[in-house]
Amino acid sequence: MGIIKSVKRDFTSMTVALIPIAIGLNIVVGQVVAMLKLPVYLDSIGTVMVAVVCGPWAGAFTGAMSNIIWGLFEPNALPFFPVAAWIGFISGWCARYGMFNTWWKAVFTGVVIAFTTPFIATPIVVTLFGGIEGSGASLITAILIKSGLKISSAAFYKNMMVEPLDKIPTAITAFIIIKGMSLRFLARFPRWENLHPSGES
């Protein structure tokens, strides 16, 4: 399937209806976590949900728009829209290969997301925030810097430590929410077979 056809398939009327809900979920949960200064983010649950049932392009769009809209009142969120887009895209691709059929596959997907996002997030953190972006996890970066690591290395290793604690629960939560939906409802989404490759309904 060509890229244009793949993009078109992702964006159906059901996708368009789900995206605002997913964006709202991302922002609300992300804002609460940020206010509590927790060492995680949990701001991609909605993105992963869209990616699984609608596809990687819809997931990428949801992630990017979540951070762009969130950035209107939380400026620190805006620069990370490429990271959020990647989370949606890679989640959608994992789902296409059946990685959301069971909870343990969802866990594996969370691991994949966790160990790929630091390569995108770290340059942003270092370039725009000097390695300290203000989240609860920034304390880890500060400790690593004091231990003698360069800012870029400290930010990268912090991400490698924190991301699994964030992305695995994110993937599992999205999986649980989706599994709680009826098959009849899920079948209205363009990529519902990601959950039921056999096409059972």
- Three-state SS sequence of 66-79: HHHHHCCCCHHHHH
Tell me the pLDDT tens digit for each residue of 160-199.
999 999 999 999 999 999 999 998 999 999 999 998 754 4
Q: Which of 109, 65, 57, 110 lies closest to 88 in space, CA to CA?
A: 57
Q: What is the CA radius of gyration of the chain?
A: 17
Q: Phi/psi zone of residue 148: left (φ > 0), alpha (ψ -120 to 50 degrees), beta? A: left
Domain count, the chain: 1
Domain extent, residue 118, equals 3-191
Give the model's pLDDT for residue 136.
Answer: 66
Is residue 93 domain-resident? yes
Instruction: Name residues whose C-beta falls within 8 Å of residue 124's C-beta, 6 or more positions apart in sequence.
Output: 79, 80, 82, 83
Is residue 18 domain-resident? yes
Is residue 198 domain-resident? no
The token duo for 7 is 């993009």
- Output the pTM of the full model: 0.92
Give the span between the Cα atoms of 116 and 120, in whole angstroms. Answer: 8
Strands (E), the chain: none
Tell me the pLDDT tens digit for each residue of 70-124.
999 999 899 999 999 999 999 999 999 999 999 999 999 999 999 999 999 999 9
Give the span between the Cα atoms of 17 and 36, in whole angstroms. Answer: 30
Is residue 196 domain-resident? no
Give the pLDDT band of residue 200 (cuts 50, 70, 90). very low
- Which CATH number does the domain housing residue 180 bear? 1.10.1760.20
Give me the residue label for tokens 């699994």. Answer: 164
200 vs 117, higher pLDDT: 117
DSSP string across 38-57:
-S-----HHHHHHHHHH-HH
Give the model's pLDDT for residue 1.
Answer: 61
Give the model's pLDDT for residue 199.
Answer: 41
Is residue 199 domain-resident? no
Tell me the pLDDT tens digit for each residue of 8-27.
999 999 999 999 999 999 99
Tell me the pLDDT tens digit for each residue of 117-166.
999 999 999 999 888 876 667 788 888 988 989 999 999 998 999 999 99
